[in-house]
Structure 1
Amino acid sequence: MGKRLLVQRRGRGGSVFRNPKWKKIGPARYIEYNAEEFKNKVLEGYVKELVHEPGRGTPLAIVRFEDGREMIMIPPEGLAVGQKIYYGAKAPIALGSIIELGSAPEGTIVSNIELRPGDGGKLARSSGAYAIILAHSRNKTLIQLPSKKVKEIDGNARATVGIVAAGGRTEKPFLKAGKKYYWSRAKSFKYPTVRGKAMSPYAHPAGGGQHPKGLTPAPRNAPPGRKVGHIAARRTGRKKGASKTQR
Structure 2
Amino acid sequence: MGHRIIQQNRGRGGPTYRAPSHKYKADLKHACPNTETVKGEIVDIEHDPARHAPIARVALEGGKKVYALVTEGMGVGDEISWGPEAGVQNGNTLPLRGIPVGAYICNIEAKPNDGGKFVRSSGVQAMVVGKTTGKVAVQMPSGKQKWFHELCMATIGIVAGGGRSEKPFAKAGNKHYKMKSQAQKWPRSSGVKMNVIDHPFGGGGHQHPGRPKTVSRGTSPGRKVGHIAARRTGKWKK
Same-fold call, TM cutoff 0.5: yes
Structure 1 position 59 matched with structure 2 position 61: no
Shift of 1:212: 4.5
Q: 2:10 — aligned with what? A: 10
Q: 1:186 — aligned with what? A: 181
Cα distance in 2 for partners of 1:19, 1:224 equals 23
Structure 1 position 219 matched with structure 2 position 216: yes
Cα distance in 1 for partners of 2:75, 2:219 equals 51
Q: 2:118 — aligned with what? A: 123
Q: 2:27 — aligned with what? A: 27
Q: Residue by residue, what CA displacement relative to the aligned partner does 1:160-212 show, whole Å, maximum 9, x if unpaired?
A: 11100101211101122221112111111100111112223222101232254
Q: 1:109 — aligned with what? A: 104
Number of equivalent positions: 236
Shift of 1:102: 0.7
Contact in 1 for aligned 2:53/2:69 (Cα 8 Å)? yes
Shift of 1:90: 2.4
TM-score normalized by structure 1? Answer: 0.89
Structure 1 position 137 matched with structure 2 position 126: no
Structure 1 position 47 matched with structure 2 position 23: no
Cα distance in 2 for partners of 1:17, 1:76 equals 31
Contact in 2 for aligned 1:205/1:215 (Cα 8 Å)? no
Cα distance in 1 for partners of 2:156, 2:210 equals 54
Letter in 1 for 2:12: R
Structure 1 position 86 matched with structure 2 position 77: no
Cα distance in 1 for partners of 2:8, 2:129 equals 46
Contact in 2 for aligned 1:55/1:183 (Cα 8 Å)? no
Match runs of 1:202-213 below 5 Å = 202-209=197-204, 210=206, 211-213=208-210
Gap runs ≥5 in structure 1: none
Cα distance in 2 for partners of 1:216, 1:182 equals 33
Contact in 2 for aligned 1:111/1:161 (Cα 8 Å)? yes
Q: 1:235 — aligned with what? A: 232
Contact in 1 for aligned 2:200/2:209 (Cα 8 Å)? no
Cα distance in 2 for partners of 1:219, 1:73 equals 46
Structure 1 position 72 matched with structure 2 position 67: yes
Gap runs ≥5 in structure 2: none
Cα distance in 1 for partners of 2:213, 2:137 equals 45
TM-score normalized by structure 2? Answer: 0.92
Letter in 1 for 2:201: A
Match runs of 1:158-197 below 5 Å = 158-197=153-192
- Could you say what the CA RMSD is over the residues aligned between the two structures, in angstroms? 1.8
Letter in 2 for 1:167: G
Cα distance in 1 for partners of 2:19, 2:69 equals 21
Cα distance in 2 for partners of 1:216, 1:166 equals 40
Q: Residue by residue, what CA displacement relative to the aligned partner does 1:57-81 show, whole Å, maximum 9, x if unpaired?
A: 1111122221333322211011111
